[in-house]
């Protein structure tokens, strides 16, 4: 049986956001915050907006599950929540679209970041797209917009569904509790008071690089390779983390395969829905998918599992690597794989015991 763990760890290094790019993205995010803050001063005068603006990082950037795009022409995607902090009830805030418009106007009025290529309004956020300069990368910042009378219970400004209770920090907390990383919501919600604790947590998180973070990156890289109809990163994160789908193992190849098999059974038990684990709890993230997209993902999942089983049963590492590379793309480092039969070496790999991972509904 071929052991491809070292190949997976090398693959992880190539897809994980390195420190230089992380710093670069943070600087660009902070520059956009300054631009919005500056432009918001003019917006307040024109529209009598009394609320103060706050910002809060969220999503894969905080959880360190963000990956490098496979194609240099593709974009990095980071989420940065914009919060109108005030005391108005939902009935007295006005239309959610107004708050989208306030942020768009603030960006246009602010100074800096002339490389903005497009500002696009979506139902759940305002997207700001950038075209990278020479030797730089393309990226976009999604700005979900919230109104908060209490920063622990903000309302999302959804263009079509009005105000929706939605706290992205709860999703981070859900994920980090699975890992038992020590994250606490107050690190972000009360950032000014807990800056040192948050920084220590960040440093510790980056050093440890928990296996579940790697599994989520592999799933995202799978989706990035296939593109098109594959689910987004938030779905991949939920699939990996829900109901003990994640299976820890000293080897990433075994962990990934067993996790994929649990995901398939979990989806079958849930009639191929993907219920959100945090507010709005139970929302099906597959609800708007046409059946053809559901069928495509089901087929790709079956094929990935089948290839993974073949890889673990194959005694030749190079042959096994090609099975993984088929689904993870050319970045998966088969050039490192050894073209030899593992049983012919003195090294004995840990036994892989096949499991159907069947669980009752």
Q: How is 153-193 classified by DSSP, letter by letter?
A: S-EEEETTTEEEE--HHHHHHHHHHHHT----THHHHTTTT
Q: How far from 315 is each of 4, 6, 311, 321, 336, CA to CA, in Å? A: 11, 15, 8, 11, 16
Cα–Cα nearest to 224, from 10, 11, 24, 6: 11
Residue 295: CB atoms within 10 Å: 13
Average pLDDT over residues 340-351: 55
Average pLDDT over residues 87-109: 94
Our measurement of the distance from residue 234's CA atom to the centroid of its chain's CA atoms, rounded to an integer in Å, reads 5
345, pLDDT greater than 80: no
347, pLDDT greater than 60: no
User: What is the CB-side half-sphere exposure of residue 323 using CA atoms within 13 A?
Assistant: 23
Per-residue pLDDT, 133: 67
310, pLDDT greater than 50: yes
Cα–Cα nearest to 64, from 214, 195, 183: 214
How confident is the model over 241-268, as pLDDT tens digits? Answer: 998 899 999 999 999 999 999 999 999 9
pTM of model > 0.85:
yes
Q: How is 287-299 classified by DSSP, letter by letter?
A: TT--HHHHHHHHH
Per-residue pLDDT, 117: 86
140 three-state secondary structure: strand
Q: Which of 54-63, 110-119, 225-234, 337-346 has the lowest mean pLDDT?
A: 337-346
353, pLDDT greater than 60: no
How confident is the model over 144-199, as pLDDT tens digits? Answer: 999 999 888 999 999 999 999 999 999 999 999 999 999 999 999 888 899 999 99
How confident is the model over 319-330, as pLDDT tens digits? Answer: 999 999 999 999
Average pLDDT over residues 27-34: 91
Q: How far from 6 is each of 3, 193, 226, 273, 338, CA to CA, in Å? A: 8, 41, 23, 34, 11
351, pLDDT greater than 70: no
Average pLDDT over residues 284-309: 96
pLDDT over 70 percentage in the chain: 92
């Amino acid at each position: 049986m071929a052991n491809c763990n070292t190949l997976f760890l090398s693959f992880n290094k190539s897809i994980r956001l390195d420190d230089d790019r992380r710093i670069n993205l943070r600087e660009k995010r902070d520059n956009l915050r300054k631009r919005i803050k500056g432009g918001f001063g003019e917006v307040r005068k024109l529209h009598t907006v009394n609320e103060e603006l706050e910002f809060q990082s969220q999503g894969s950037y905080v959880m360190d599950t963000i990956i490098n795009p496979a194609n240099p022409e593709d974009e990095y995607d980071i989420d940065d929540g914009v919060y109108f902090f005030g005391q108005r009830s939902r009935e007295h805030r006005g239309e959610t679209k107004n708050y989208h418009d306030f942020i768009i106007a603030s960006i246009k009025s602010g100074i800096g970041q002339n490389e903005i290529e497009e500002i696009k309004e979506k139902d759940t956020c305002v997207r700001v797209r950038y075209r990278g300069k020479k030797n730089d990368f393309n990226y976009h910042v999604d700005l979900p917009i919230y109104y908060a009378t209490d920063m622990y219970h903000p309302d999302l400004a959804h263009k079509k569904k009005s105000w929706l209770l939605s706290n992205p920090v709860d999703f981070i907390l859900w994920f980090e509790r699975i890992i038992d990383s020590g994250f606490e919501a107050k690190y972000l919600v009360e950032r000014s008071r807990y800056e040192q604790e948050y920084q220590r947590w960040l440093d510790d998180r980056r050093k440890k690089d928990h296996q579940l973070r790697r599994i989520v990156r592999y799933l995202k890289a799978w989706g990035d390779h296939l593109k098109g109809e594959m689910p987004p990163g938030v779905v991949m994160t939920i699939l990996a983390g829900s109901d003990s789908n994640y299976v820890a193992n000293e080897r990433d190849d075994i962990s990934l395969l067993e996790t994929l098999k649990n995901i398939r059974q979990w989806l079958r038990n849930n009639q191929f829905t993907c219920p959100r684990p945090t507010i709005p709890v139970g929302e099906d993230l597959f609800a708007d998918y046409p059946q053809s997209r559901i069928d495509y993902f089901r087929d790709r999942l079956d094929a990935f599992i089948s290839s993974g089983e073949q890889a673990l049963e194959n005694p030749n590492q190079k042959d096994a690597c090609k099975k993984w590379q088929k689904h993870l793309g050319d970045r998966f480092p088969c050039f490192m794989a050894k073209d030899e039969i593992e049983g012919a070496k003195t090294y004995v790999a840990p036994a892989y015991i096949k499991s159907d991972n069947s669980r009752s509904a």
